[in-house]
Amino acid sequence: MKHAVFALIMLLGVSLGACKKKKISYTVEGIVTDASYSQPLSGATVQLYGTPAGSSTPSQLIGTVTTGSDGKYSFTFDRDKTEQYVTIVSKSQYFEISDGFTAESLSTSATNTRNVSTTAKSWVKLRFVNLMPEETDELKYIRQNGKSGCAECCYGGEQFLYGAVDTAIYCINDGNTTYSYYYWVLNSPNNGPKSIITQPFDTVELLLNY
């Protein structure tokens, strides 16, 4: 009798254990690439944030990792009521980037690969010098190529300079890419393009004498 009771208790324990829900998790991983040099970016901080469904609160930090020499990052986290996710990649002297995705797009049965890339910061010094200034002189220029859409970026529309000019304007750009503009000098045949390739982590000068 005792053996039968013991066996029944063990059976109930196994049944109750089987009824408990097993936690389901996601794995998100990828490689952060330095697009300025076409190689993996080491030492980058990758943060994963999540926003619960229907929540009006800011995203909550889920985890933080740092990429190694291979540029790889990886997060494994429980599936819950979080609906939106975003990874934010940052490193000194590089542009911060973000990569957003939804819980619906993730698989629980396979690794979710999300590769991202960023660029090194560089700067161009736009130097304008009017060699024989007159009060009525007018220079117009407009950017053709260069970094746009960032808080540090220079205005990309038409710009005007008048009279005696000897000035410099600093503009941020993606490293190892072209920065260019087209210019016109009012009432003069002097017009055309100016361009230069900016160097990562450095400032180059683009001089226009007119």
Whether residues 68 and 91 share a domain: the answer is yes
Q: Which domain holds residue 99?
A: 23-118
Whether residues 128 and 203 share a domain: the answer is yes
Please list the residues that pair with 172 across neighbouring strands. Answer: 123
Whether residues 61 and 98 share a domain: the answer is yes
Q: What angle do CA 111, 117, 120 make, to 5 degrees?
A: 150
Global pTM value: 0.85
With respect to residue 192, please indicate whether it lies within any of the assigned structural domains. yes
% of residues, the chain, pLDDT over 90: 85
What's the pLDDT at 11? Answer: 45
Q: What is the mean pLDDT of residues 183-196?
A: 97
Which of 21-25, 50-54, 102-106, 169-173 is predicted with the least confidence, judged by mean pLDDT? 21-25
**How many domains does the chain contain in total?**
2
With respect to residue 82, please indicate whether it lies within any of the assigned structural domains. yes
Using 50, 70 and 90 to split pLDDT, how confident is the model at 201?
very high
Nearest CA among 196, 191, 192 for reference residue 207: 196
Please list the residues that pair with 162 across neighbouring strands. Answer: 138
Segment 65-103, tens digit of pLDDT: 999 999 999 999 999 999 999 999 999 999 999 999 999
Q: Tell me the CA end-to-end span of the chain in Å, nearest whole number.
A: 107
With respect to residue 163, please indicate whether it lies within any of the assigned structural domains. yes
